[in-house]
Chain A
Amino acid sequence: MSHAVIASLSGFSLLPSYTVIGLTLGGVYALAATGLVLIYRVSGVLNFAHGAVAMFSTFVAYQISVVAGVPSPIGLLAAVATGAALGFVIEFLTIRPLAGRPPLTKVAVTIAWLLVLQTAAGLIWGSTGYHRPVQLVGSNGFTVPFTNVVVGYDQLTIFLVAVGLSLGTSALLRWTSLGAQMRAVADDPQAARLWGIDVDRVSAASWMIGSAMAAVAGVLITPLLNFDTYSLTVLVIDAFTAALIGRLTNLPLTVVGAILLGLVQYYPKAFFNQAGLSELSTFVLALITLAVVFRPGLAASRGRG
């Protein structure tokens, strides 16, 4: 790093407000990562197009709410519908026919979807430039008592909605009949089929719910970054990193990992003035996680044979 890096002790005074932003961002990552883990656990496919699905759905919300001026909750609903529809199409048309093929073939299909969605979005909405965010809640806020930290109502809403939905998914898996079926399919698809579970239907449900979560995450993150098609598509690496912390299976740990990632991405910005620091933090955290969490021969090669 060169002269552009300016270290300053005054960065410490920024930490409280950066904590707020980091937590908000972490909440969004938690939501995206939960969707990713849900899809991976149930269908055995690591979805590299997760960010692209989020991006495309978000741009649908952008078109409806920002360009056409329809109230943003309707835009959000449209994004959710788009995400679920994309999830269904990807699963039904391109994952289901690949049953029994190697995991890397399925990865290649999701990569193809990434390319298709990314290019299509670029053609429709332009691949660069400033886009006004889809603002669900006003950005005014309140001061935390006894401190001078300001929390925006939008930030609070984003955090609560995102973490609520993530934990809600854990609850769904644990306590509902669909959740039980999903866990059965995740553990052993063949055995689940013998028990009379419609494995295809459950798998499609996981793709639809997981992709809808990605869509919500995409819409929620728009006020937090200068978003374009590329920056939302690469959201997938943040979701991956959080999911890796949860070993790609554990949802509560994934939420914790996501919040950790949000903070780790933001804290360095208090001390250094340098572009790309978030990406550096993500990379380092991903490396550490891969080194510490994954031992040879663990869960890693899971995928329906």
Chain B
Amino acid sequence: MSGPVSRNRRLGLAAVVAAVALLPALESDFQRGLDSDAVIIALLVLSVVVLTGFVGQISFCQYSFAAMGAFTVGALMDGHGWSFWLALPVGVTVAVLAGVLVGIPALRLSGLLLAVLTVAVALFTDRFLLVTGTWDGFSGGAVPWHPSRPSLLGAPLTGSYAYYLFALAILCVAVLLVWNLRRGRAGRVLRAVRDSELAAATVGLDVTAWKLAAFGLSAGIAGLAGALLAVRIGSVSPGSYDFLHSVQLTALATVMGVSAIAAAPAAGIATVFGPELLSGIAVSSTWFPLLIGTALILQLVLVPEGAVVRTRHDMARLARLVSGRRGRDPAIAEAAR
């Protein structure tokens, strides 16, 4: 997205955010819990967008980064009595460090082998590090951590609506951050790295450093999501952060289209309300990953650019048909880029 954002677009976005913030006021507590989950999934997908969409690196350990945030916050709050506001930055920092550590082999490995390494990291985290008896001071051992909800400026976030607004605000900040990053110099560099590492290195860019930065940022966002999830559920257990969750997340982000930031909210809505819809039409919600997998296969073979980008493309074409306008629409130009 190059060039200034039009005034209309900005107003439209503000209206959407306001609607998304206000609508859950009418919903039940259970429904608002799902809304918060959608926001957290959106953050996780955003972390995939940073890594896969910006630098073209595929990762199967995003939930391991989320676990770093979640378990650090759980251990510090429940185990050591820290405040959430102190534990949160520590958790995010731990996740960032984990991300940079995983990214370091990028110094010498191709993207494919690095992807294999992320599988190893995910299984190491899920089947060794978080197993009872390995490091109970971190994993909580047999009894999971129970971090409680914090208060913000004196207002407790224990209510479902308050917590939803809090998570949504964090998501908006993260999206703005990533969006600005993408529009600025960093975004151009990262795209150059994604499109051709060799060419990027030839024009003097430090490819490795930028890849490491992308790993750190991505892991940080995932860690933030993990911390939010820990406090939202009020309990941190290893099963919620395993390899299959990461696989499902990556698949979902790819279905939506990792090159678009809009994939994040779209994926959030899909993961949380998809299973709900399925249970509504008498198909068990355990079928959901099957649908994501099938959708991913169909999408890669038939719609390579991803659902969000394709939809934007189609909408632009429709708008053009309706208005009878000719020429390239900015949305198409972006999709084609």
Contacts and interface: CB of A to CB of B under 8 A. Distances in A.
Interface stretch (B5-13, B26-34, B247-255, B274-282): B247-255
Contact of A97 (B110, B117, B301): B301
Contacts of A244: 113, 116
B174 interface: no
B244 A230 contact: yes
B157 interface: no
A114 B247 contact: yes
Interface stretch (A172-180, A209-217, A256-264, A277-285): A277-285
Interface in B107-145: 107-113, 115-117, 119-121, 123-124, 127-129, 131-137
Given A115-B292, A236-B119, A290 B109 contact: yes
Main secondary structure of the interface of B (DSSP, over half): helix
A122 interface: yes
Contact of B123 (A2, A48, A279, A287): A279
B58 interface: yes
B296 interface: yes
A119 B117 contact: no
A237 interface: yes
Interface residues of B, number: 49
B119 A115 contact: no
Contact of A112 (B56, B109, B300, B304): B300
Given A115-B292, A119-B293, A283-B120, A300 B112 contact: yes
A279 B300 contact: no
Interface stretch (A98-106, A156-164, A187-195): A98-106
A94 interface: yes
Interface stretch (B228-236, B283-291, B322-330): B283-291
A116 B290 contact: yes
B311 interface: no
B110 A274 contact: no
B304 A274 contact: no
Contacts of A101: 304
A305 interface: no
Contacts of B243: 234
A301 interface: yes
B152 interface: no
A66 interface: no
B286 A123 contact: yes
Contacts of A1: 134-135
A188 B58 CA distance: 26
Interface in B63-77: none
A108 B290 contact: no
A156 B241 CA distance: 38
A274 B134 contact: yes
Interface of B: 56, 58, 60, 105, 107-113, 115-117, 119-121, 123-124, 127-129, 131-137, 243-244, 247-248, 250-251, 254, 284, 286-287, 289-290, 292-294, 296-297, 300-301, 304
Given A93-B301, A276-B129, A279-B123, 15 more contacts: A1-B134, A2-B136, A46-B112, A46-B116, A103-B111, A115-B290, A115-B292, A119-B293, A120-B290, A237-B119, A240-B120, A286-B117, A287-B120, A290-B117, A300-B109
